[in-house]
Structure 1
Amino acid sequence: MSNISDQTTAQQPGHIDWRAFVLPLAIILLWAAATQWHWVNTKLIVPPQRVLSAAFTELGQVDFYSGVGLSLWRDLSGFTAGALAGVAAGVLLGVSRFADKLFGPTFHTLRQISLFAWLPLLSAVLGTGDLSKVIFIGFSAFYPVALATLEGVQGVSKAQAEVAQVYGFTARQFLTRLILPAASPQILSGLKLGLVYAWLATIGAEFLLVNDGHGIGNIVFKGRATFNVELIIFGLFAIGLIGFVLTRIADAAERRFLRWRPANI
């Protein structure tokens, strides 16, 4: 019973569960102790204070914020395009048996191809600029959203569809009043997963396509080129923190959109 109560409290908007900070704090303390007492090679695992020094240096530069802004623009542009296409594809395959027979086999075959296998083709056709990065990010968001939407649409019961027919729903009403509301929990779950994949793809695109010196991924790229370990670690922390914030925003948006659902669902 107490476990259920804890979960309910943790899900309240604005509530911070401080237990989540125990493990990161323990890792930082162990890291500081290991470097202080030379349990590790401090050329490879640098002390936390050196990472803090690199962080203050980077945070004081305009290039850092412009890089974050550019990465977020790439991420959200690709995610938006991929998510819209994913919802459309999932709905189409879910409501139309003809579309499922015509496009379904190709859809399920292409999703078996590794995401990063598309990079050479994209770079060869579109070059290594922002367009190829945004399309790659869109690909990363497309399948999680499409599959979740398809699952949600297929979860609409036959009885619900029959009720809609009794009330004489038009095709538009059938979509907007039955299909999308009923599938919305799965669609939102797919959007959250697509957002995570899109951020991972953003960083991957900045690494694996020709690095243009812009974007948050450039911090790690620059640190690797100069063997600046503290800069690499700071870059990883910054990437992880931004991804965490994006996920929390998505969680808040999901709670807001699904306020109509009973709390026990």
Structure 2
Amino acid sequence: MAELILEEHKSSSVETTRPKNNRFWRPNSLHVQALILPVAFLVLWSIASYFDWVNPKLIPSPWDVGVTAVETLSQAQFWQGVAASLSRNFSGYAIGASLGVAFGVLLGTSHFAQWFLAPSFHVLRQVSLFAWLPLISTFLGYGNFAKLLFIGLSVFYPVALHSLEGVRNISDKYREVAQVYQFPKSYTYRKLIFPGASPQIFVGLQLGLIFAWLATIGSEFLLANYGVGLGNLVIRGREQFNVPLILLGMLIIGAVGLVLNRILQHIEKRVLVWQK
């Protein structure tokens, strides 16, 4: 009986996020509509460049950006930079997300942790992320570990907060069932806490992934040590006053961020359907 009640909660908590299909990408009218503005902008940009309505030194033509893209993408150094940025992003994200989920669930399930840790957590999360940079660079310098810490911090707070909210949203009657039947803690977490909180946890994970990518590029800008990375690509374009390279870097950064977000959305649908 108790297991049926918990399974009912597990089903209801996931049902709202259950997708209609699991395809990674299904073209539809919304995707077509989303292309209207970029295509219109590209056409206007091409026309403005062709008729010299803009200064080509400040705003290069799409052709110039395309030529720069072909040259840049054919260089091994570019792909090394992509690999370095993704490695930092995934490493920092894994650290921040795992600690964030654990901390949020702890706050949501322990009255002592709520009393002892929650006030400090809510104060520190009000501190701007970039306000941590002077402290990080002072103690850790500008190396890879400093970047990973910065990325991990950017992920930790949204993931912890949404994990906490997910645990809080679990109905008290299901908690009472677990207490009455004296379920082991491991069973309660596996059958009640994590399934019930999983929709909110994934909201936090998705926000954390966005913040992680922003922090990855931001750390390469602000904790620059002339290493490799997509942020360093844009910095090199700035130092050389190579506007096509800057625009190319911005486009690639945006495209990679979009792909990462789509991947996590796909994983979320798979995981929640599997729980169902």
TM superposition score normalised by structure 1: 0.92
Partner in structure 2 of residue 249 of structure 1:
263
By how many angstroms is 1:20 displaced? 1.9
When the two structures are aligned, how many residues end up with a matched partner? 255
By how many angstroms is 1:165 displaced? 2.0
Partner in structure 2 of residue 205 of structure 1:
219
User: Of the two structures, which has the highest relative contact order with CA contacts closer than 8 Å and spacing of 6 or more?
Assistant: 2
Equivalent residue letter for 2:228: H
Listed one character per residue, the Cα deviations across residues 206-245 of structure 1 (whole Å, up to 9, x for unaligned) are: 0001332311111110000011100000000011111011
Q: For residues 1-265 of structure 1, what are the structure 2 equivalents within 5 Å?
A: 13-16=24-27, 17-259=31-273
Listed one character per residue, the Cα deviations across residues 115-160 of structure 1 (whole Å, up to 9, x for unaligned) are: 0111111111111100000010000000110011001000011101
Listed one character per residue, the Cα deviations across residues 46-88 of structure 1 (whole Å, up to 9, x for unaligned) are: 1000000110110010000011001000000000000001001
Question: For residues 228 and 263 of structure 2, what CA distance do their matches in structure 1 show?
Answer: 25
Question: For residues 14 and 57 of structure 1, what CA distance do their matches in structure 2 show?
Answer: 30
By how many angstroms is 1:12 displaced? 5.5
The farther-off stretch of 146-155 and 18-27 is: 18-27
Equivalent residue letter for 1:15: R
Question: For residues 212 and 12 of structure 1, what CA distance do their matches in structure 2 show?
Answer: 40
Question: For residues 62 and 50 of structure 2, what CA distance do their matches in structure 1 show?
Answer: 10
Distance 1:145 1:184, change over 3 A: same
Question: For residues 187 and 20 of structure 2, what CA distance do their matches in structure 1 show?
Answer: 38
Unaligned runs of 5+ in 2: 1-18
By how many angstroms is 1:19 displaced? 2.3
| 8 Å CA contact 1:9, 1:15 repeated in 2 | no
Query: Sequence identity, in percent?
Result: 51
TM superposition score normalised by structure 2: 0.89
Supply the RMSD in Å over aligned alpha carbons.
1.6
Distance 1:13 1:64, change over 3 A: closer
Unaligned runs of 5+ in 1: 1-7
